[in-house]
Amino acid sequence: EIVKGKLSYYRLYTPYQDMVVNNSFEQFVYKDNKLSKINRPKRRDSLGEFIKDYPELYDKWMSPYEPIDINSIDYVVEMYNEHFKK
């Protein structure tokens, strides 16, 4: 578990020839009692589906002009959860 909250983010590491390689993991999010795998080639769209109820973050994440780094899923999930704590 990387981030826990209204939207939780998980990484499941898979062994690669008896060792863990940096890119040998799957990404999942959990929201509304549903666990969903993040499609790595389409991470932006996959995660975007879960943050639509926070339009400002969604727009920033999906923006082609000043997008949030594609590898910052944990940051996006933290921002999402902070917003809903208020």
Nearest to 44 by CA among 6, 72, 80: 72
pLDDT of residue 84: 93
Supply the pTM of this predicted model. 0.82
DSSP secondary structure string for all residues of 31-84: ETTEEEE--GGGHHHHHHTTSTTSHHHHHHHH-SSSPPPTT-HHHHHHHHHHHH
pLDDT of residue 8: 95
- Digits of tens for pLDDT over the chain (86 positions)? 688 899 999 988 777 665 555 567 889 999 999 999 998 888 899 999 999 999 999 999 999 887 788 788 999 999 999 999 87
Instruction: Please say whether the beta carbons of 78 and 3 come within 8 A.
Output: yes
Give the contacts of 44 (CB within 8 A, at least 6 positions apart).
61, 62, 67, 70
Tokens (6 digits) for 49: 């589906």
